[in-house]
Amino acid sequence: MIRTKPTVLVLALLVATSAAGQSQEVKEKQEAPAAMSKDGKKLFGTMEALRLARVFSPRISPDGSRVAYLVAENTLEKDKPWKSVTQLWVVPTTGPASASRQYTRGEESVSDVEWSPDSKLVGFLMNGGDEKDKRQQVWFMYVDGGEPWQVTKHKSGVRSFEFSPDGKTLLLVATVPESEDQEKRAKNKDDAEVVDRDFKMGQLWTWDIAASQEKQITKDDFTVSDPRWSADGKHVTFTSNPTPRLDDGSLQTAWVLDVVSGKQRKVSDTTDFTHTARWSPDGRWIAYLVSHGAPFLQTNLFVASAEGGKEKKLTNGFELNAGEPVWGADGKSVYFSSNAREAMEIFAADVISGTVRQLTDKSGVLNLGEISADGQTAIGTWSDPGHPAEVFRSDLKFSAIRPITNHNAWLAEYALGGTEVMKWKSSKDEMEIDGIVTKPVDFEALRKYPFLLNPHGGPTAASLLTFNPTEQILAANGYLVLEPNFRGSTGRGEKFSGANQNDWGDGDYQDDMSGVQAMVDKGWANPERLGAFGWSYGGFMTMWIDTQTDRFKAISPGAGLPDLYSMYSQTDIHRYMTLFLGNKEPWDNFQGYWDHSPMKYIENVKTPTMILHGQADTRVPIPQSEEFYRALVERHVPVEYVTYPRENHGFTEPRHIQDRWQRYLVFFGKYLKNPPQTEPKEVLDHLSKDLP
């Protein structure tokens, strides 16, 4: 999809740091001045946003006593590139947060945490080998202490792994190592690449832990992911895709493999796409997800007999998308998280009746991770607009959800902008639209504030009630921000998600502008101080706004796509685009692509514009922004264009992430007459020199 990740997935890029790692020089140059709120709390600036710890991927031990999880933090060291590093932490399942302990250290990030069946070892992926031959491998640590050691030595590296039920074997996803001839050619730089040929397909391997021996168990003409052992260790489920290309990412099939014989069969004979297969605790059933392929069509939950043949839909009468299935210990219910408007809630499907019930109504983001083997405890992550994600535990009624980690306790010292879900009617057809309003710190209802519209990416995505560092930085600097969930957004069912087909820039634009007017009518947004910014599809939308109205004083499109005809051939998601544009390629639907392209209306642009883009973007390649920028230059529209080396569609380098935030503050500060409050003067002076 055209996104950094749905807004939820954009927030994943805004990773954290520890203040202890900052050098004195960095502090002097980058720490925010002592800006304070009316109640004496500090204001949240870009350095605070970089300090946030990002908590994710909790895994409960088989004995239920501990939870292993990952924490990403930014390292800000003198005379070194700033970067994000992910480490392994462990906390008792019952808490408290003060009992959590960091298990790995150093400059290498870890991922893909798994417990051994006896709960004595925790495994993870981390780079191993010499500097020039570093590859991701499986490492082990004793949970009661000691140094980690490397377990696998697969020549091409390991993509994912899982312990067998008896703990003696690892199931790996990895590519076939290059032959000697291929290595020799690469060394001699005889490395011409043929597009759409010679893909490196992921395959399944077993790794005998005691003997340190590997065996390839699939040799198929497709790429493999998401393998899971059956409880008896005799079978494995996995998902296949025709190629590793992102454009083929939705073309999935779930399989069952007999480990001894190598025989494979599909989990279901349906012609729809199947994936995310999960064994029931007794091994009799397999829960899996079924998609029709189009991103706006519903994803349903099914179960099938492990022997094949018998299958059953569990989401009858349920209108939202089912998330990853998590079996209850008794095998009677399958639990999952789902996007419900601006929230992520937890639901349970009854295996016998095929009905779904909602278990939470927390108005935040709840991502269910796992359920303990005894069926007493659920764990996952929880976030809301005032709290970044932390690990939670709960019983299966989810009546009392308790955080067991607290990696961002320091946020209590900071004043944060309040949030509210607002609803309005679209000027297109009176359809009800909603979105999230983040209010300025020290908000007063009778004041009119400088206002920023922030459409999300996707478009098949949604803005959610989670902690949003960008919006909190803006709130600390006095902005009122609206994130509209326009037609085409998720969380309201299939009809609403597909309501922007053949309609980009029309209905969604009117939804957004009606939201702006609602904020003006409410008396909160100053109509003379309106701005807009967005990324990916939000970049498209802000480019479209730039060509359709002069109501805004400043607009900043990021990684936007102004020319849909050329975008089709440049992007890595061609199929996705056709689904919204008549199911046709641009040469068979020129008018459709051109009519929905901001470039068609470029002569209308008068608003000062700041364009941002990553130089290595493969989702929305940089020629898209080049085209828009060149047109504004030639038409003498005030424009600033900033590109970021090495960055793809979603930024990963902390200095670039901070630079983007600070440029928003400087750019909108000038044109909306709202000087930044949280950033050092020397930074503001430097960035102000670049303004159009």
| Mean pLDDT over the full length of the chain | 92
- Tell me whether residue 222 is in a domain: yes
**Distance set, CA 523 to CA 69, 375, 438, 511, 516 (Å):** 44, 51, 15, 19, 11
Cα–Cα nearest to 639, from 672, 615, 616, 605 = 605
Six-digit token string for 235: 């079978």
Average pLDDT over residues 511-535: 98
Residue with tokens 């796992």, as numbered in its chain: 370
- Tell me whether residue 487 is in a domain: yes
Q: Are residues 304 and 448 in the same domain?
A: no
Six-digit token string for 25: 């020089």
Q: Are residues 423 and 402 in the same domain?
A: no
Cα–Cα nearest to 67, from 330, 409, 368, 393 = 393
Per-residue confidence band for 47, with pLDDT thresholds at 50, 70 and 90: very high
Q: Are residues 83 and 109 in the same domain?
A: yes
- Tell me whether residue 69 is in a domain: yes
Q: Are residues 142 and 274 in the same domain?
A: no
Q: Are residues 468 and 616 in the same domain?
A: yes
Are 599 and 627 a contacting pair, CB within 8 Å?
yes
Residue 682 sits in a domain of what CATH number?
A: 3.40.50.1820
Q: pLDDT value at position 4?
A: 41
The structure's pTM equals: 0.92
**Distance set, CA 313 to CA 177, 288, 292 (Å):** 40, 10, 14
Alpha-carbon distance of 63 to 507, in angstroms, equals 52
Of the candidates 407, 437, 469, which is a domain's last residue?
Answer: 407
Element housing 639 (H / E):
strand 639-644
> How many domains, in total, are found in the chain?
4
Q: Are residues 391 and 477 in the same domain?
A: no
Q: Are residues 627 and 489 in the same domain?
A: yes
What are the respective helix, strand and coil percentages of the chain, to the nearest 5?
Answer: 20, 35, 45
Per-residue confidence band for 33, with pLDDT thresholds at 50, 70 and 90: low
Q: Are residues 459 and 565 in the same domain?
A: yes
- Tell me whether residue 581 is in a domain: yes
Six-digit token string for 267: 């989990």
- Tell me whether residue 622 is in a domain: yes
Per-residue confidence band for 195, with pLDDT thresholds at 50, 70 and 90: confident
Residue 247 sits in a domain of what CATH number?
A: 2.120.10.30
Q: Are residues 394 and 447 in the same domain?
A: no
Domain that holds residue 604: 412-688
Alpha-carbon distance of 3 to 294, in angstroms, equals 16
Of the candidates 282, 309, 336, which is a domain's last residue?
Answer: 309
Q: Are residues 67 and 144 in the same domain?
A: yes
Six-digit token string for 438: 């983040």
- Tell me whether residue 458 is in a domain: yes
The crossing angle, in degrees rounded to 10, of helices 654-671 and 681-688 is 70
Residue 687, strand partner residues: none
Q: Are residues 650 and 507 in the same domain?
A: yes
| DSSP classification of residue 458 | B
Per-residue confidence band for 292, with pLDDT thresholds at 50, 70 and 90: confident
Six-digit token string for 366: 């709840």
Q: pLDDT value at position 184?
A: 84
Per-residue confidence band for 30, with pLDDT thresholds at 50, 70 and 90: low
Q: pLDDT value at position 13?
A: 32
Average pLDDT over residues 239-262: 93
Alpha-carbon distance of 506 to 502, in angstroms, equals 9
Are 343 and 362 a contacting pair, CB within 8 Å?
yes
pLDDT at 595 over 80: yes
- Tell me whether residue 130 is in a domain: yes
- Tell me whether residue 595 is in a domain: yes
Of the candidates 354, 388, 407, which is a domain's last residue?
Answer: 407
Q: pLDDT value at position 337?
A: 97
Cα–Cα nearest to 254, from 235, 273, 271 = 273
Q: pLDDT value at position 504?
A: 96
Q: Are residues 639 and 504 in the same domain?
A: yes
Per-residue confidence band for 5, with pLDDT thresholds at 50, 70 and 90: very low
